[in-house]
């Protein structure tokens, strides 16, 4: 059927119509013929059978009654039927009864009657039918019909039918030739249009419209398709133009490669690169000097572009250099993983480094399978160089920052230089670095620091630390004028110092001045072995560094000054604070002293009175009373000294020569309970060793104070030995630090000792190591006492081994005067006295003591009462000779009382008793209207003395 496809559509249509017509008509015709034949035969059988049956029926009686003549006559009737060529009637016995044969026909009959049936023989039909009567077979009839009629009919049909068939086919062909145009014409037109479009590639052509039936739709669809193709083509062209614009103009190298790494498409930049590279290689491969003779594909870019298409790198570069790229692309094809933004360093033929950033991606088709690779690469050398430059700058900055930080932590110039030099050596780096200090007066430079790595070199150049440099008219002198000096090659300078450096193998040297406020104080030297070894960023860095160093050095100087000022300030503040603290303490102490003085006044008065007025006292009572009196005096002294923390003792303090050994023994006795009894209760044992040098000279002192100081030291020693030990009290004669002849009293223990901090601070007031138990005042008081006696104190201690406190008291310069006993005070004449006080116990003791001297004593409790009593007495005749008044009283105090009394009777002496007496005396703050001030506790002797004085002194003028 292949030839059918090759036929043009017109012929095809004709053929199809003709064949269809024939195919439809021919079977119809054949069917008709066959039907006719079959129908004819069936009709023949039917007719013949009917004929046979009729004959059989007619022959019944003939056969029954054996009338052959009549039977023959019946058979002769068959001659009217042209089809029947022979007939035969058989009797019941099967014998031939009568027979008929068409004239001219030769037929032989079966001798015996055949079975009843019909069958076809060639050219004839035989029908045998039984003859029955009353369902009994009484014979048979045999008929033979000729088939000639059938054949005649068949041929007749053929003769008529075949011409009709042919005529029909021809007619259909003619008709189709005319009618096929309506189908083939539009198709041919369409085909023509398509051919035109295909040949010219002109998608703007359109096929002529064909109406609205199928062909019309086809044409419209074709036109629409053309329209779409046209639009797609336009879009494609646009995209292609864009792509070409990109590929032809971008400086990036862009390529597409297939799976075998063969180039499919490259950008113009890539093409040019490859072209130039190939040319370069080719030129290099030629023998030197010969003119370059390029092969054809390298003659121009267009030819090279053709050459490149379908080639891989391996086709024109050696395998070594392309293997990596090839492997990389294979990896991308295999895994489908792109390489993005990979930066590669490439060393060019010229030796310079170039940097390329490349991106390679898998190239996929519509189904997503990888069909190659594509990518771009960009020359990023400039960016990379800038980046490196930036990096270097950053590192410099970091270095500068590090150095700045490091030197900021240091305050002395030496270590600042050390740091800077070391960093310079290690991190810039330089081959030699040193720092010099400039002595302006001597106009010399002294090397102060040399880097660790430069040390050997420095030694060989006689530039080791502390070496002096001569300043000649070279870089150094310029540098000392404040410029950064760069010598690219010192071997070219004729001056001695550069020559010295050159001899050490150094070439490029930088001298950087260290300058603070236009004052050069040093030079920093950095050097490298290479000629022109420093570029301008290096110089700039060194310059900045030198400025930083100078600044740091300046700051270090300032810091030192500041530190010193601060230290002074701190010390003076400490002193002020301590004084302030002592002052507060003194104020507090005087309050306490007042109360104590009041409290012990009766003890003092009574014991003195008893000792004087009771001659019959037993010796033991006398001794006890004397001890009481001494203790009270000590208490009074102690209280009086409380204020001494903040003010030096007044000069008039009476120093009385005393024997130190006596005082030491008294102290040992007084403190026995602490060092003997109390430790024993705790189960520890303290042994006391008294090593008292004999024949020691007397020294001027206040006995009670010395006793207290020693007592304090003993108590401390005991406290330092909670587990027992040896307590030593030692006296001797020894010179102190200033070679004065001094009495030394020493208290040492074998206790826990003191660390350095404690030893240094133990004399400070309120410094204690005893926690709640200590006041922090003991040693401070000792120190005060010692200082008041013009002496000194020494403390030695080893922690865990014990401590020794050593007190130095200067001996009297002149011969010690024997202790002046207090002069006897005569009992004043009997007087009428007024006592004003708010303390009834004091009043009572004072009255009794005064009355025992024979005075008339009137007491008044409180200021107002005193004034009232005095006024009442003045109004009468019993005026008072003198008035004793307390200073501190509620409501109306001593001053008011004194004022009032003087107002009433200016001549009456007023003697003020006060717990603050010593202070009033010391400050010279004798209140107005008061003639005498006596401190509490008043001693009988003082009372008598005061009364004697007031009675002899004329009343004040005012």
Partner 1 sequence: MTLARRGWVQAWLIYLLLWAAAPRPAEAESREYQIKAAFLVNFLHFVTWPPGAFTKDEMPFCIGILGEDPFGAALDQAVRSETVGQHPIIVRRWKRLADCKGCQLLFMSRSEEKNMDAILGKLRAQPILTVSETRGFARSGGIINFYLEGNKVRFEINPAAALRSHLKISAQLLNLGKIIDTGGGGQ
Residues of this chain that interact with partner 1 (CB under 8 A) are: 58, 60-62, 64-65, 67, 70, 92-93, 133-134, 136-137
User: Cβ 134 to partner 1, closest distance in Å?
Assistant: 6
User: Cβ 58 to partner 1, closest distance in Å?
Assistant: 7
- The residues, any chain, with a CB within 8 Å of residue 36's CB and separated by 6 or more, are 153, 154, 157
Tracing tokens 């009476």 back to the chain, one arrives at 654
Check if the beta carbon of residue 748 is closer than 8 Å to that of residue 717. Answer: yes
Nearer to partner 1 by Cβ, of 68 and 385: the residue is: 68
User: Cβ 56 to partner 1, closest distance in Å?
Assistant: 12
Check if the beta carbon of residue 778 is closer than 8 Å to that of residue 714. Answer: no
Angle, alpha carbons 90-91-96 (nearest 5°): 45
Nearer to partner 1 by Cβ, of 139 and 894: the residue is: 139
User: Cβ 57 to partner 1, closest distance in Å?
Assistant: 9
Nearer to partner 1 by Cβ, of 98 and 582: the residue is: 98
User: Cβ 51 to partner 1, closest distance in Å?
Assistant: 18
Q: Cα–chain-centroid distance for residue 772?
A: 49
Tracing tokens 């023949």 back to the chain, one arrives at 44
Check if the beta carbon of residue 292 is closer than 8 Å to that of residue 277. Answer: no
User: Cβ 76 to partner 1, closest distance in Å?
Assistant: 15
**Which H or E run includes 434?**
strand 432-439
Nearest-angstrom CA–CA distance, 850 and 873:
19
User: Cβ 80 to partner 1, closest distance in Å?
Assistant: 19
Q: How far is CA 932 from CA 171, 210, 912, 929, in A?
A: 180, 154, 6, 9
Strand 468-469 versus strand 485-487 pairing type: unpaired
Q: Cα–chain-centroid distance for residue 67?
A: 147
**Which H or E run includes 447?**
strand 444-450
Nearer to partner 1 by Cβ, of 66 and 397: the residue is: 66
CB atoms inside a 10 Å sphere around CB 320: 7
Check if the beta carbon of residue 607 is closer than 8 Å to that of residue 747. Answer: no
What 3-state DSSP class applies to 29? helix
Nearest-angstrom CA–CA distance, 640 and 914:
12
Check if the beta carbon of residue 175 is closer than 8 Å to that of residue 101. Answer: no
Nearer to partner 1 by Cβ, of 68 and 276: the residue is: 68
Nearer to partner 1 by Cβ, of 133 and 325: the residue is: 133
Nearest-angstrom CA–CA distance, 28 and 20:
13
User: Cβ 37 to partner 1, closest distance in Å?
Assistant: 37
Nearer to partner 1 by Cβ, of 63 and 747: the residue is: 63
Q: Return the closest-CA partner of residue 901 out of 936, 928, 933.
A: 928
User: Cβ 99 to partner 1, closest distance in Å?
Assistant: 21
Nearer to partner 1 by Cβ, of 57 and 499: the residue is: 57
Angle, alpha carbons 742-745-750 (nearest 5°): 140
Nearer to partner 1 by Cβ, of 93 and 738: the residue is: 93
Strand 519-528 versus strand 432-439 pairing type: antiparallel
User: Cβ 61 to partner 1, closest distance in Å?
Assistant: 3
User: Cβ 90 to partner 1, closest distance in Å?
Assistant: 14
Nearest-angstrom CA–CA distance, 404 and 552:
8
Nearer to partner 1 by Cβ, of 70 and 795: the residue is: 70
What 3-state DSSP class applies to 23? helix
User: Cβ 91 to partner 1, closest distance in Å?
Assistant: 10
What 3-state DSSP class applies to 772? helix
Nearest-angstrom CA–CA distance, 74 and 108:
20
């Amino acid at each position: 059927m292949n030839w059918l496809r090759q036929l043009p559509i017109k012929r095809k249509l004709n053929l199809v119509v003709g064949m269809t017509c024939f195919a439809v008509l021919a079977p119809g015709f054949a069917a008709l013929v066959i039907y006719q034949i079959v129908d004819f035969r069936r009709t023949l059988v039917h007719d013949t059978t009917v004929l046979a049956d009729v004959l059989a029926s007619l022959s019944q009686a003939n056969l029954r009654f054996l009338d052959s003549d009549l039977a023959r006559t019946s058979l002769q009737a068959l001659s009217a039927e042209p089809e029947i060529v022979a007939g035969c009637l058989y009797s019941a016995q099967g014998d031939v009864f009568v027979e008929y044969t068409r004239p001219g026909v030769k037929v032989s009959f079966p001798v015996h009657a055949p079975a009843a049936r019909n069958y076809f023989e060639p050219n004839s039909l035989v029908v045998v039918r039984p003859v029955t009567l009353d369902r009994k077979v009484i014979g048979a009839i045999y008929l033979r019909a000729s088939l000639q009629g059938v054949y005649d009919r068949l041929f007749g049909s053929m003769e008529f039918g075949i011409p009709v068939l042919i005529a029909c086919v021809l007619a259909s062909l003619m008709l189709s030739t005319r009618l096929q145009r309506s189908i083939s014409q539009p198709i041919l037109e369409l085909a023509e249009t398509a051919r035109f479009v295909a040949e010219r590639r002109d998608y703007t052509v359109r096929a002529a419209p064909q109406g609205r039936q199928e062909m019309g739709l086809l044409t419209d669809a074709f036109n629409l398709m053309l329209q779409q193709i046209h639009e797609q083509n336009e879009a494609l062209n646009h995209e292609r133009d864009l792509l070409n614009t990109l590929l032809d103009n971008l400086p990036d190298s862009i390529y597409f490669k297939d799976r075998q790494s063969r180039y499919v498409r490259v950008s113009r930049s890539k093409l040019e690169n490859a072209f130039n590279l190939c040319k370069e290689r080719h030129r290099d491969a030629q023998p030197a000097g010969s003119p370059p003779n390029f092969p054809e594909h390298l003659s121009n870019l267009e030819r090279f572009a053709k050459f490149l298409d379908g080639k891989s790198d391996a086709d024109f570069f050696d395998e070594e250099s392309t293997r990596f790229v090839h492997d990389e692309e294979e990896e991308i094809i295999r895994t489908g993983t792109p390489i993005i933004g990979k930066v590669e360093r490439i060393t060019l033929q010229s030796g310079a480094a170039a940097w390329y950033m490349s991106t390679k991606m898998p190239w996929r088709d519509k189904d997503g399978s990888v069909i190659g690779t594509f990518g771009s690469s960009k020359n990023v050398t400039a960016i990379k160089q800038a980046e490196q430059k930036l990096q270097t700058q950053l590192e410099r900055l970091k270095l500068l920052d590090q150095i700045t930080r490091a030197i900021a932590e240091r305050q002395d110039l030496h270590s600042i230089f050390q740091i800077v030099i070391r960093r310079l050596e290690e991190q810039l780096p330089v081959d030699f670095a040193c720092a010099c200090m400039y002595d302006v007066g001597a106009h010399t430079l002294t090397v102060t620091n040399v880097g660790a790595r430069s040390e050997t070199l420095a030694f060989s150049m006689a530039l080791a630390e502390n070496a002096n440099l001569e300043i000649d008219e070279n870089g150094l002198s310029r540098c000392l004028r404040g410029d950064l000096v760069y010598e690219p090659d010192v071997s070219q300078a004729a001056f001695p110092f550069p020559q010295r450096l050159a001899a050490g193998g150094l070439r490029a040297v930088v001298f950087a001045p260290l300058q603070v406020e236009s004052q050069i104080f040093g030079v920093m030297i950095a050097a490298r072995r290479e000629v022109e070894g420093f570029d301008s960023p290096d110089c700039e860095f060194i310059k900045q560094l030198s400025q930083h160093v100078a600044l740091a050095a300046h700051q270090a100087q300032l810091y030192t000054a500041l530190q010193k000022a601060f230290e002074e300030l701190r010390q003076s503040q400490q002193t002020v604070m301590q004084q302030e603290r002592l002052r507060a303490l003194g104020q507090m102490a005087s309050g306490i002293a007042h109360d104590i003085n009041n409290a012990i006044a009766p003890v003092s008065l009574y014991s003195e009175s008893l000792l004087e007025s009771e001659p019959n006292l037993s010796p033991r009572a006398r001794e006890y009373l004397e001890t009481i009196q001494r203790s009270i005096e000590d208490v009074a002294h102690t209280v009086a000294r409380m204020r001494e923390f903040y003010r030096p003792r007044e000069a008039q303090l009476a120093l009385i020569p005393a024997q130190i050994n006596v005082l030491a023994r008294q102290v040992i006795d007084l403190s026995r309970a602490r060092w003997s009894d109390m430790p024993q209760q705790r189960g520890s044992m303290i042994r006391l060793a008294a090593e008292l040098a004999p024949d020691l000279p007397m020294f001027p002192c206040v006995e009670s104070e010395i006793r207290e100081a020693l007592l304090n030291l003993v108590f401390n020693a005991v406290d330092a030995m909670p587990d027992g030990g040896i307590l030593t009290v030692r006296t001797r004669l020894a010179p102190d630090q200033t070679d004065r002849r001094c009495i030394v009293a020493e208290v040492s223990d074998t206790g826990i000792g003191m660390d350095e901090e404690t030893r240094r601070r133990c004399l400070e007031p309120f410094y204690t190591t005893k926690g709640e138990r200590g006041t922090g005042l003991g040693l401070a008081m000792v120190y005060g006492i010692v200082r008041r006696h013009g002496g000194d104190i020494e403390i030695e201690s080893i922690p865990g081994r014990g401590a020794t406190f050593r007190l130095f008291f200067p001996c009297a310069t002149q011969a010690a005067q024997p202790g002046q006993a207090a002069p006897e005070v005569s009992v004043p004449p009997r007087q009428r006295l007024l006592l004003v006080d708010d303390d009834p116990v004091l009043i009572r003791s004072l009255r009794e003591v005064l009355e025992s001297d024979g005075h008339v004593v009137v007491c008044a409790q409180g200021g107002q009462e005193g004034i009232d009593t005095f006024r009442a007495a003045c109004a009468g005749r019993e005026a008072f000779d003198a008035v004793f008044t307390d200073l501190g009283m509620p409501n109306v105090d001593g001053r008011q009382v004194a004022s009032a009394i003087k107002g009433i009777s200016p001549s009456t002496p007023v003697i003020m008793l006060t717990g603050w007496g010593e202070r009033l005396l010391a400050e010279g703050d004798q209140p107005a209207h008061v003639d005498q001030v006596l401190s509490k506790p008043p001693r009988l002797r003082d009372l008598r003395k005061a009364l004697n004085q007031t009675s002899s002194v004329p009343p004040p003028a005012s």
